[in-house]
Amino acid sequence: MTRKTGAMTNAPSQPGGILHPDTLAVASGRPDRQPDAPLNHPITAASTYVADGALGYGRYGNPGWSALEETIGALEGGLATTFSSGMAAAHAALESLPRGARVVLPANCYLGVAALVANRAERGDLEMVTVAVDDTAAVLAAADGADLVWLESPTNPMMEVADLPAIGSALADTPTKLLVDNTFATPILQRPFEVGADLVLHSATKFLSGHSDALLGALLTRDPDDRAVHDQVRRSQGAVPGALETYLVLRGLRTLPLRVRHAAESARILAERLADAPGIVRIRHPGTGSLLAVELADAASADRLVHGTRLWVNTTSLGGVESTFERRRRWAAELPNVPEGLVRMSVGLEHVEDLWQDLRTALG
């Protein structure tokens, strides 16, 4: 099998050692060190380039994309292609499948992906099978004969965790490809390629960017042929990242390891305290990472919480420096499996005691 080749990136390295993620986040995607070179790639606002070069046209390439892809690729250990959003990257992942392909999808997953795959299935482009990602035997049974197993772990917003090493090794010598949406865990907490994933997806809109100011997506592979397909899909669909967004996400990435670790520690403390807090029926926290979901008795109690805070922002999206939360079922498209009283929480970088006081007041 040639599928599980070694890491293929242009990431910086040093003699006698692989660099740590903290270093890769800072040192990757930099201009060459020449006198007076800037330390950061400037924003290249270009719809076109003078002929006879490698880029040619603004939809085919941008120096900022390459710098960002080098950095995301270094952190995940794969070859990245960036897109205008996480959903554009998800489209690109489906685009490479043959007509009629069978896709295994989590029963609970990001609602945009669920709607996209269901829509393709309704049109007859592919066959969709859904499965509980935390039931490994069920995942493997569904994977038998499938073209693609699409996993989220932890899942959005139910926070279920899949046994990625077990699933990855079971699929290793099969033609079934494994995609992991690593948006929630980030490469700081989980590197799916190391446990057998073929594709890794990111909504870089969330943690990679980290400042709630840009939409961007990435699709990664370890196979250069796959990378070429992803690049081709981006050219033809035209869902290219904007120059400013590309710059913002790379700037945000520099601090990803620090942000993720700090917020995860605050989330651990808050999860512990929320377990004994009035009105909280259940906590879903995978034990690592800065995302959790709390269940309140009903929609009204959950609405009171999200409208009762001064620091926590009632908003969708996650992974920013600001602590944010929302009652997921306020969205008509959210899957009916999600309880009405479930509030998804994204812990940010404010002081944990301030965050706790704010929640305690709102819970009454």
Ligand X SMILES: *Cc1c(COP(=O)(O)O)cnc(C)c1O
Please name the residues in contact with 297: beta carbons below 8 A apart, sequence gap of 6 or more.
279, 281, 341
| In the complex, minimum distance from the CB of residue 230 to ligand X, in angstroms, rounded to a whole number | 16
Strand partners, 344: 293, 326
* Binding flag, residue 205, ligand X (CB under 6 A): yes
The contact pattern for ligand X, residues 110-139, with x = CB under 6 A and - = no contact, is: x-xx--------------------------
| In the complex, minimum distance from the CB of residue 95 to ligand X, in angstroms, rounded to a whole number | 15
* Binding flag, residue 215, ligand X (CB under 6 A): yes
The nearer residue to ligand X, 11 or 87, going by C-beta atoms, is 87
Q: Where are the alpha helices (DSSP H) in the chain?
A: 21-27, 63-76, 86-95, 111-122, 136-143, 164-171, 186-189, 224-237, 243-253, 256-274, 299-307, 352-363
The nearer residue to ligand X, 205 or 301, going by C-beta atoms, is 205
Of 117, 125, 129, 124, nearest to 98 (Cα)? 125
Q: Which residue has the tokens 């690049």?
A: 231
The nearer residue to ligand X, 149 or 170, going by C-beta atoms, is 149
User: Considering only residues 71, 186, 203, 290, which one is a binding residue for ligand X as defined by CB under 6 A?
Assistant: 203
The C-alpha atoms of residue 353 and residue 121 are separated, in whole angstroms, by 47
- 96 backbone dihedrals φ, ψ, rounded to 5°: -80, -5
| In the complex, minimum distance from the CB of residue 89 to ligand X, in angstroms, rounded to a whole number | 8
User: Considering only residues 63, 86, 210, 252, which one is a binding residue for ligand X as defined by CB under 6 A?
Assistant: 86
Neighbours of 316 (CB within 10 A): 12
The nearer residue to ligand X, 202 or 222, going by C-beta atoms, is 202
Pairing of strands 101-106, 148-152: parallel
Of 145, 141, 122, nearest to 132 (Cα)? 141
User: Considering only residues 69, 76, 134, 152, which one is a binding residue for ligand X as defined by CB under 6 A?
Assistant: 152
* Binding flag, residue 190, ligand X (CB under 6 A): no
The nearer residue to ligand X, 84 or 301, going by C-beta atoms, is 84
User: Considering only residues 81, 156, 209, 346, which one is a binding residue for ligand X as defined by CB under 6 A?
Assistant: 156
Query: Footprint of ligand X on this chain (CB under 6 A)?
Result: 85-87, 110, 112-113, 152, 156, 181, 183-184, 203, 205-206, 215, 217
